[in-house]
Amino acid sequence: MTHLEKAEELLQQQYHCSQALFGAFAGDFGLDLKTAFKVSTCFGGGMRQGGTCGCITAALMVLGMGLGFYDSQDRELEMYGNKKTDEFIQRFREKMDGKVNCREILGKDISVPIEMAEIRQQGLILKTCPSAMSVSIHLLEEMLEEYLKEVAESSIALEDIPENEDMQSLLKRVSKRNRFNRNVNNLLFASKKDIGFIQFDIRKFKIVNDLYGEKFGDEILYFIIRQLRENCSENQFFVNLRSDVFMVVTEYENAQELVEFIQELDERISYYKNVRLQLSYGIYTVEDRNMELRQMEDRAAMARKRAKNNVLTNILFYQEQFKDSLYNRKFIEENMQLAITERQFQMYLQPKYSIAQNVIIGAEALVRWKHPEKGLIYPNQFIPIIEENGFVKKVDYYIWSEACHFIRRCQEEGVDPAPISVNVSRIHLRDDDECIQILSEMIEETGIRKELLELEITETADDQQISNKALRLKEEGFTLLMDDFGSGYSSLNILLETPFDVIKLDKKFMENMMVSRKGRLILEQVVAMANKLELGLLAEGVETKEQIDLLQSIGCDQVQGYYYAKPMPAEDFFALLKEQNALV
Dihedral pair phi/psi, residue 408, rounded to 5°? -65, -40
Q: Which residues are CB-neighbours of 576 under 8 A, at least 6 positions away?
A: 351, 360, 565
Nearest to 282 by CA among 307, 265, 319, 311: 307
Query: Reading across the β-sheet that carries 315-317, which strands appear in turn?
Result: 236-242, 245-252, 194-202, 279-285, 315-317
**Per-residue CA distances from 516 to 99, 324, 512, 547, 551 (Å):** 86, 41, 8, 13, 15
The SS3 of residue 248 is strand
User: What length is written for the chain?
Assistant: 584
With contact defined as beta carbons under 8 Å apart, do 162 and 215 qualify? no
The CATH 3.30.70.270 domain(s) of the chain lie at 172-318
Amino acid at 252: Y
Cα angle, residue 297 at apex, residues 229 and 160 outer, rounded to 5°: 75
Amino acid at 316: L
Q: What is the C-alpha to C-alpha distance for residues 472 and 132, in angstroms, rounded to an integer?
A: 53
Q: What is the C-alpha to C-alpha distance for residues 298 and 325, in angstroms, rounded to an integer?
A: 11
Number of alpha carbons in the 13 Å side-chain half-sphere of residue 168: 10
DSSP type of residue 450 = G
In 162-235, at which residue ranges do the beta strands (DSSP E only) sit?
194-202
User: DSSP labels for 28-59?
Assistant: GGT--HHHHHHHHHHT-HHHHTT-B-HHHHHH
Residues of the chain short of pLDDT 50, as ranges, are 45-50, 70-81, 153-164, 461, 489-490
Q: Which residues are CB-neighbours of 116 under 8 A, at least 6 positions away?
A: 108, 109, 110
Q: What is the C-alpha to C-alpha distance for residues 248 and 241, in angstroms, rounded to an integer?
A: 10
Q: For residue 221, what pLDDT is reported?
A: 93
CATH for 172-318, among 3.30.70.270, 3.30.930.10, 3.40.50.1100, 1.10.10.60?
A: 3.30.70.270
Strand partners, 539: 505, 559
Amino acid at 283: I
Strand partners, 200: 246, 281
Q: What is the C-alpha to C-alpha distance for residues 547 and 528, in angstroms, rounded to an integer?
A: 17
Q: What is the C-alpha to C-alpha distance for residues 297 and 49, in angstroms, rounded to an integer?
A: 46
Q: What is the C-alpha to C-alpha distance for residues 231 and 214, in angstroms, rounded to an integer?
A: 26
Helices 205-212 and 214-231 pack at an angle, to 10 degrees, of 130
User: If residue 351 lies in a helix (H) or strand (E), which one and from where to where?
Assistant: strand 345-354
With contact defined as beta carbons under 8 Å apart, do 481 and 495 qualify? no
Q: For residue 463, what pLDDT is reported?
A: 59
Q: What is the C-alpha to C-alpha distance for residues 298 and 81, in angstroms, rounded to an integer?
A: 32
User: Active site residue: 219, 540, 571, 579, which one?
Assistant: 540
Q: For residue 432, what pLDDT is reported?
A: 66
DSSP type of residue 390 = S
With contact defined as beta carbons under 8 Å apart, do 395 and 367 qualify? yes
The SS3 of residue 203 is coil
Q: What is the C-alpha to C-alpha distance for residues 144 and 422, in angstroms, rounded to an integer?
A: 43
The CATH 3.20.20.450 domain(s) of the chain lie at 338-583
For 95, counting Cβ atoms within 10 Å of its Cβ (0-12 exposed, 13-18 middle, 19+ buried), the class is middle
Interval 419-461: pLDDT, tens:
999 998 878 877 667 889 999 999 999 999 999 999 998 755 4
With contact defined as beta carbons under 8 Å apart, do 448 and 476 qualify? no
Q: Is the pTM of this model over 0.75?
A: no
Helices 392-412 and 379-389 pack at an angle, to 10 degrees, of 120
**CATH 3.20.20.450 is right for the domain spanning 338-583:** yes
Helices 83-95 and 124-153 pack at an angle, to 10 degrees, of 140
Number of alpha carbons in the 13 Å side-chain half-sphere of residue 101: 13
The gap between the terminal CA atoms of the chain, to the nearest Å, is: 75
In 203-310, at which residue ranges do the beta strands (DSSP E only) sit?
236-242, 245-252, 271-272, 275-276, 279-285
Q: What is the C-alpha to C-alpha distance for residues 232 and 194, in angstroms, rounded to an integer?
A: 17
Q: For residue 268, what pLDDT is reported?
A: 93
With contact defined as beta carbons under 8 Å apart, do 22 and 58 qualify? yes
Q: For residue 227, what pLDDT is reported?
A: 94
Known catalytic residue: 540?
Answer: yes
As a 3-state breakdown, the chain gives helix, strand, coil percent values, each rounded to 5, of 55, 15, 25
Q: For residue 68, what pLDDT is reported?
A: 62
Q: In the chain, what's the furthest Cα-to-Cα distance?
A: 107
- SS3 of 488-512: the string is CCCHHHHHHHCCCCEEEECHHHHHH
The SS3 of residue 383 is helix
Q: For residue 248, what pLDDT is reported?
A: 96
Q: What is the C-alpha to C-alpha distance for residues 447 and 185, in angstroms, rounded to an integer?
A: 61
